[in-house]
Amino acid sequence: TNEAIKYKRIVLKLSGEAIAGEKGFGIDPATIKTMVAELKKVYELGTEICIVVGGGNIWRGNIGQEMGMERAQADYMGMLATVMNALALQDVLENAGVPTRVQTSIEMRQIAEPYIRRKATRHLEKGRVVIFAGGTGNPYFTTDTTAALRAAEIDADVILMAKNNVDGVYNADPNVDANATKYDNLTHLDVIAKGLKVMDSTASSLSMDNDIPLIVFNLNEPGNIVRVVKGENIGTIVRG
Ligand code: UDP
């Protein structure tokens, strides 16, 4: 039953704030539940789903840096934060009847599988949602870059950048500037050259070099993930 879908294999980037809910910090099970109900509809269309989770709702490397910590050390803490989010997400998905596997880029064999590309694609073929945790496994990177990297590795059709209450990429901050206008289409080079806040520049250049399209959309609008996967033009599409 997948004639209706445009994108067969997707990488959904969920930032920490998508998991935090109103409080903006920590893990909010009700927020995850709402999001999972949306995601389940996409799953039922036959889409192969990978999720790259962020960790900013718990810890970010730059917080540690501001406290005088060594950058790499603080970044490893951030990677661990993504694992906590991944486990929470896994729990909610499985309670909703969606089979999942978590794969970590840093081995934690008691709680998740290590990242193995061929195994990840096998899980997808078998109808399991694969949650990628631990970022790239390297300090100085982000989970946006992880999304671009994994999308390239598993040959995903698109990266879906889920945003909270923003429906795409604007030329100015729509919460501040009343004249801000939304872009429907952009190239990765536009994003880099204009300094638009879509992904960090490492993630953008990786997406550009590997020709991975990206859709920025509002996660909080019910039905949006389904619309995106069916190819409706909502949000901003970045390609080329
Ligand atoms: N991080 C890292 N390497 C990676 C991915 C993440 O060092 O490959 C660390 C980094 O410190 C980052 C934190 O993990 O601040 C949380 O990830 P991110 O900021 O991407 O989360 P999000 O903003 O999506 O919630």
Q: Is residue 80 part of a domain?
A: yes
**21: DSSP letter:** G
pLDDT tens for 25-54 read 999 999 999 999 999 999 999 999 999 999
Residue 33: inside a domain = yes
Contacts of 209 (CB under 8 A, 6+ apart): none
**Residue 164 Cβ contacting ligand 1 at under 6 Å:** no
- Which pair of tokens denotes residue 214? 């990206």
CATH number of the CATH domain containing 182: 3.40.1160.10
Exposure on the CB side of residue 177, measured as CA atoms within 13 A: 8
What are 14's two structure tokens?
């969920």
For 135-152, write each residue's pLDDT tens digit.
999 999 999 999 999 999
7 CB within 6 A, ligand 1: no
Helix (H) or strand (E) holding 130: strand 129-133
Q: What is the pLDDT of residues 160-205, one digit of tens each?
A: 999 988 999 999 988 899 999 999 999 999 999 999 989 999 999 9
> Is 3 inside a domain boundary?
no
What is the tens place of the pLDDT at every residue in 98-110?
A: 999 999 999 999 9
Tally of domains within the chain: 1
The torsion of the CA quartet 13, 192, 141, 88, rounded to 10 degrees, works out to -10
Residue range of the domain that includes 167? 9-238
Does 1 have pLDDT greater than 80?
Answer: no
Residue 1 lies in a domain: no
Whether pTM > 0.90 for this model: the answer is: yes
- Alpha-carbon Rg of the chain, whole angstroms? 17
Which of ligand 1's atoms lies nearest the C-alpha of 15? 24
**Measured distance CA(32)–CA(201) in Å, rounded:** 28
Ligand 1 touching residue 138 (CB < 6 A)? yes
**Measuring CA to CA, how many Å separate 24 from each of 42, 57, 78, 148?**
26, 7, 16, 25
pLDDT in tens, 46-84: 999 999 999 999 999 999 999 999 999 999 999 999 999
Q: Is residue 2 part of a domain?
A: no
Taking a C-beta distance cutoff of 8 angstroms, is the pair 58, 81 a contact?
yes
Position 21 confidence tier, pLDDT thresholds 50, 70, 90: confident
